[in-house]
Amino acid sequence: MQIQITLHGILRDALPPEARGRTALTLPAGATVADALLALQLKNTTTAAINGQQVPLDYILHDGDHLHLFRPIGGGR
């Protein structure tokens, strides 16, 4: 299955600048958010969200999902 990825903020630095934080991943059926983070070599403290909802590391991804990844955000920023 294929999922779309958008890396926000400093996480975009994990990709070449011209990608502007956007990429796609092909993962086996049953792959989780943790698998996507591993593929992108990102820490498992990264916040993941799909359609505006935060999803846990063991969330099973579905073909066509658009996964947004960012560092924890909080007040004042």
Partner 1 sequence: MPYGYNGKILHINLTTGEMTVEEPPESFYRQYMGGSALNLYYLLREMPPGVDPLSPGNVLAMSVGVTTGAPVSGQSRLTVSAKSPLTGAIGDAQSGGFFPAEMKFAGFDAFIIKGRSPKPVYLWVHDGEYELRDASHLWGKITGEVEAILKEELGDEQVEIAQIGPAAEIGVRFAAIINMSNRANGRTGMGAVMASKNLKAIAVRGKEGKKNFTVANPQALSELARRGAKILPESDVAGLAKYGTAETTGAQQAMGMLPSYNFNSGVFDEWEKIDGTTMYDTILRGAAEGKQDLRGRDTCYACTIRCKRVVEIKDGPYQVDPHYGGPEYETTSTFGNYCGVSDLAAIAKANEICNKYGMDTISCGATIAWAMECFENGKITLEDTGGIELRFGNAEAMVKMTEMIARREGFGDVLANGSHRAAEMIGRGTDEYLITSHKQEAPAHMPQLKRSLALIYAVNPFGADHQSSEHDGAYEGDKLSYPERMAALGLTQPQPKLSLGPEKVRFARITQYLYSLMDSANVCQFVYGPAWQLYGPQELRDMIEYVTGWDVTIEELLTVGERRLNLLRAFNAREGIERDQDTLPKKMFDKPLEGGPTAGIAVDRQQFEAALDEYYRQNGWDVETGNPTRFKLEELGLGWVADQLNL
Does position 11 interact with partner 1 (CB under 8 A)? The reply is: yes
Does position 56 interact with partner 1 (CB under 8 A)? The reply is: yes
Neighbours of 65 (CB within 10 A): 20
14-43 residues near partner 1, rule: CB under 8 A: 20-21
Does position 59 interact with partner 1 (CB under 8 A)? The reply is: no
Does position 70 interact with partner 1 (CB under 8 A)? The reply is: yes
**Residue 58 · residue 34 · CB < 8 Å:** yes
25: β partners: 3
Quote the CA–CA distance of 74 and 77 in Å, as a whole number: 6
* Interacting residues toward partner 1 by CB under 8 A: 6, 8-12, 20-21, 45, 47, 49, 51-54, 56-57, 68, 70-77
